[in-house]
Amino acid sequence: MFDGFYTHTKSVQRTNKFDIKACKRNIKLMKIRQFSLTGAVNDLALQIKFVDRESFQRINNYKALEKLGFEAKYKQLILLPESNSVLAGVEFSDKTKTADRYHKLNPYVLGANLYRQLPLSKTVAVQINELPGLLQNENSLRNIILGFIQASTQFTTFTKASEDSPANPVIGISMPLKRLLSGEDLKLIDSLNKGITRTRQLIDATPEEVNPSTIEKLIQDTFVENPNITIHAKNYEELSNLGAQGITYVGRASIHKPILTQVILKPKSEVKKKVVLVGKGVTYDSGGLDIKPDGHMKTMKCDMGGAATMCGTLKALAELGLEHTEVHWISAFVENMIDGSAYKPDDIITTLSGQTVEVVNTDAEGRLTLTDALTLASLENPDYIIDAATLTGACIFALTEHYTALMGNDEELNQELQSHFESEQERSQYVAMPEILRTSLAGDLSDLKNIPDFKFGGHVTAGLFLSHFINQKNFRNPGLEINQPQEYSWVHLDIAGSSYNKRNNDIDAVGSTGHGVRSLVSWIRSIDSNR
């Protein structure tokens, strides 16, 4: 009889399967290459002229160019090698009959489109030389530049950097146009670029690079040497002791145990407003025991997109500095995985708020981790809580991949945030949370269950679920000692579709989009300057 198996096992050294400490690796984020904005661009730079129909027709040989098919239409481009220049069309005609508020001339798209169509492999410098009147304002120019730089951004860790692409490409602005931008505008472009780039880096990184073991160090690297920033973290043991089961149950089957981080940006002067940003930080969503079916798991590295969006927003704000607004960013980082310790349907979780939640489906994990993150946000006694989360596939079914679903408990705040999404031309759609659906989340053995027993409007019921953790009247953990229960002004952003692109479109290539950072920065800056 073959007994090799038995003799073999004798010589096997038994070690612990995983050494968690060894997993706490110090990882650098993916290397990036992108055009950078510079003041000085020499004459050899490729000269870019944005033209509408009228300014095009003022060009001497415009008829000859027309014969070649160039009519100055939005996103049309023609290269004029003899003058080392490019004409980029901006003439926009809205022939659609839909009431699409976002269907208009989009400077960010113009910039991105310019990058994608230029013969850039050997171009070291590009200069924006001319803009039609319509785009001659600081916001349009800012977004053209940002769109261009973001489209040029490549993550090169895992690719063979192409040998003929320039090492340090730059984009500049000609002297007359430079007058449009003050020093402050340049600072804003640079800060937004840093923030958006960081958001995208975190999302596009592999789950080996960004996970609950690596994230604390990555956050420290993001905010390094900023005296107005403080970073706090609670590890798995601390979260367990605290009773944050919404986080610990979901993340406990991973070799990378959960961690909660809180980053605080102090303003320069006295604090007058306080904003808490909360981001879903599921660094990988396998679905857990309710494992995702074929094809649905791929791209689930993006399930920390909410956390990354808030990280990028805070990064941009930290670079800019705020006068009177204190901003917090709270995220629970977990990996939704499977082993013998995996949480299960039928488990009842006691969240930090004291409310109990029956697990019906382990793939509705984001809302469970958000319960405790939102409770901690409420305990900060803020003026506003904004959360961003790649929360539901239903959001994509309902609104397509292009929209962020915006919900909330304060009509005025909903509208205010929406107006910032609109002015930055980042697509968001207000979605009502009908009170009539609230009872569908009532548990049989618990306060709540994590999903209702019907499938429609999953993004709406997810929003309703979260709302229980904003209103302290629902809280019943005696340890929290809440004397006067508050309900905070809160907006929930479901970015399941908008933060990650599965296919190229005219704004973004495949991968992370950085969507939301510009709008959130714009809103927080408006609070900071208005109140």
Binding mask 350-379 for Zn ion (x = CB under 5 A): -------------x-xx-------------
Name the active-site residue from 315, 367, 449, 525: 367
Structure tokens at 146: 């940002």
Which one of residues 132, 169, 288, 458 is an interface residue with ligand BES (CB under 6 A)?
Answer: 458
CA–CA dist 311, 11 (Å, integer): 49
Contact between 246 and 212 (Cβ < 8 Å): no
- CA-wise closest residue to 450 among 529, 362, 386: 362
Does position 130 interact with ligand BES (CB under 6 A)? The reply is: no
CB of 363 to Zn ion, least distance (A): 4
363 counts as binding ligand BES under rule CB under 6 A: yes
**Active site includes 63?**
no
Report d(CA 80, CA 384) in Å as an integer: 51
Residues 179 and 224: their CA atoms lie apart, in Å, by 33
Among 110-118, 161-169, 276-284, 418-426, the segment contacting Zn ion (CB under 5 A): 276-284
Judged by beta carbon distances under 5 to 8 A according to partner kind, the member of ligand BES, Zn ion, none in contact with residue 188 is none
Segment 294-353, which members bind ligand BES (CB under 6 A)? 303
Tell me which residue has its CB nearest to ligand BES: 393
- 257 with 212: CB under 8 angstroms? yes
In the set 53, 217, 272, 292, the catalytic residue is: 292
Rule CB under 6 A: is residue 365 a binding residue for ligand BES? yes
CB of 440 to Zn ion, least distance (A): 19
Cβ 275 to ligand BES, closest distance in Å? 25
Site for ligand BES in 383-442 (CB under 6 A): 390-394
292 in active site: yes
CA–CA gap between residue 339 and residue 301 (Å, rounded): 19
Q: Are 427 and 442 in contact (CB under 8 A)?
A: no
- Is position 285 an interface residue for Zn ion (rule: CB under 5 A)? yes
State the nearest-atom distance from the C-beta of 175 to Zn ion, in Å.
50
Q: Which segments of 271-420 are extended strands (E)?
A: 273-279, 281-285, 325-336, 348-350, 356-358, 384-389, 404-408
Residue 157 tokens read as 């860790």
**Residue given tokens 């149950």 in the structure block:** 249
Q: State how far the Cα of 309 lies from the Cα of 520, in Å rounded to an integer.
A: 9
- Nearest distance from C-beta of residue 448 to ligand BES, angstroms: 14
Question: Do the beta carbons of residue 67 and residue 194 sit within 8 Å?
Answer: no
Q: Which range binds ligand BES by CB under 6 A, 187-195, 364-372, 416-424, 471-479?
A: 364-372
Whichever of 317 and 364 has its CB closer to ligand BES, that residue is 364
- Calpha distance 62→70 (Å, rounded): 9
Q: CA angle at residue 99 from 94 to 103, to 5 degrees?
A: 45
CB of 429 to ligand BES, least distance (A): 16
Residues that bind ligand BES (CB under 6 A): 285, 303, 361, 363-366, 390-394, 451, 458, 496
Active site residues: 292, 367
- Catalog residues that contact Zn ion under the rule CB under 5 A: 282, 285, 303, 363, 365-366
